[in-house]
Amino acid sequence: MDERLPLVMSVTSGKGGVGKTNISANLAYSLARQGKRVILLDADLGLANVDIVLGVSPQRNLFHLFHEGATLEDILFPTPYGFSILPASSGVADMISLTTGQKLELLEAMDALEEHIDYLIVDTGAGINDNVLYFNLAVQERLVVMTPEPTSLTDAYALIKVLTLQHDVERFRILVNMAPSEKEAKEVYARLAKACDHFLAGVSLDLVGCIPHDPLVKKAVMRQEPVCSAYPDSQAAQSLQKLAKDIATWNPAANLDGNIKFFWKKLLFHA
């Protein structure tokens, strides 16, 4: 990406169980395979599972940054897949909602990574809690993952509604996962777009792809390996690799303010 800023994107959802962490891990893997320098931040701070999906066992995580004086370099964990992760903790109540001081601390720490990466992928939690909104406000691009299930559509709309009406976010990338067919994926996207057009004036939704329902994804999960690594010729892996190639053409925003150039400090106090 030459001298341009890193691209910082969230992979987020209104509902759990839509495959968000798998999407994040496979995009990180596929971008790394393109020669990009990638970090995957596990931002589901209280229920982290990026390490489980990848079959790795980091000794430190973001809890140690906030509570035990560790640095980001202490926590950064290189995976066997060509990218690094910033792992979070699981089952730690103190991490469920970050304080303003902890948010600032994380932003300052992340700023040091700017010159060393091309992509920062932020795997958020699901829903509309404070942490989810905070991370979605701190990124440049938001990839909302949904499935054809009615509850997934409703919850995706709820997330978009809160970010739009309360925080003036207007642009979202939409990915339909576990789609029985491309036709059904486009139909569920159309229903979401219709609801947004009707109730949320000015919102831009861009359907960036659909990942087919593929039994090899579950097999890869059981192997604790990205499907793009375990079964690169599978339908799901092919679709994820195509999406990663498309993401590589997305350009970071050029008009960022403040000292934090790629993890936007000025938006912190809007959360």
**Using one digit for the tens of pLDDT, what is the confidence trace for 193-202?**
999 999 998 8
Q: The tokens of 254 are what?
A: 């050029």
Q: What is the DSSP string of 160-174?
A: HHHHHHHH---EEEE
Q: What is the DSSP string of 234-267?
A: SHHHHHHHHHHHHHTTPPPPS---SS-SSS-GGG
pLDDT digits (tens, 9 = 90+) for 135-180: 898 888 999 999 999 999 999 999 999 999 998 899 999 999 999 9
DSSP 79: -
Query: In angstroms, rounded to a whole number, what is the distance separating the alpha carbons of residues 128 and 14?
Result: 7
DSSP β-ladder status, 77-78 and 84-86: antiparallel
pLDDT average, residue stretch 225-230: 98
Higher pLDDT, 270 or 39: 39
Q: Is residue 264 over pLDDT 70?
A: no
For the stretch 185-192, contacts whose Cβ atoms lie closer than 8 Å and that sit 24 or more positions apart, written own/partner, are: 185/148, 185/210, 186/210, 187/148, 188/146, 188/147, 188/148, 188/153, 191/153, 192/146, 192/153, 192/156, 192/157, 192/160
Domain boundaries, the chain: 7-249
Whole-number pLDDT of residue 1: 40
pLDDT digits (tens, 9 = 90+) for 53-72: 999 999 998 888 888 888 88
Range with lowest mean pLDDT among 1-15, 111-125, 151-165, 211-225 = 1-15
Which residue type, as a one-letter code, is found at position 141?
E
Nearest to 22 by CA among 181, 209, 224, 180: 224
Q: Residue 12 — φ and ψ, nearest 5°? A: -140, 170
Nearest to 238 by CA among 222, 217, 219, 223: 217
Most confident segment among 34-38, 95-99, 262-266: 34-38
Nearest to 55 by CA among 33, 29, 35: 29
Nearest to 208 by CA among 235, 195, 189, 191: 189
pLDDT digits (tens, 9 = 90+) for 70-128: 888 899 999 999 999 999 877 655 566 778 788 778 877 887 787 889 999 999 999 99
Mean pLDDT computed over every residue of the chain: 88
Query: In angstroms, rounded to a whole number, what is the distance separating the alpha carbons of residues 212 and 265?
Result: 37
CATH 3.40.50.2000 fits 7-249, yes or no: no
Whole-number pLDDT of residue 206: 96
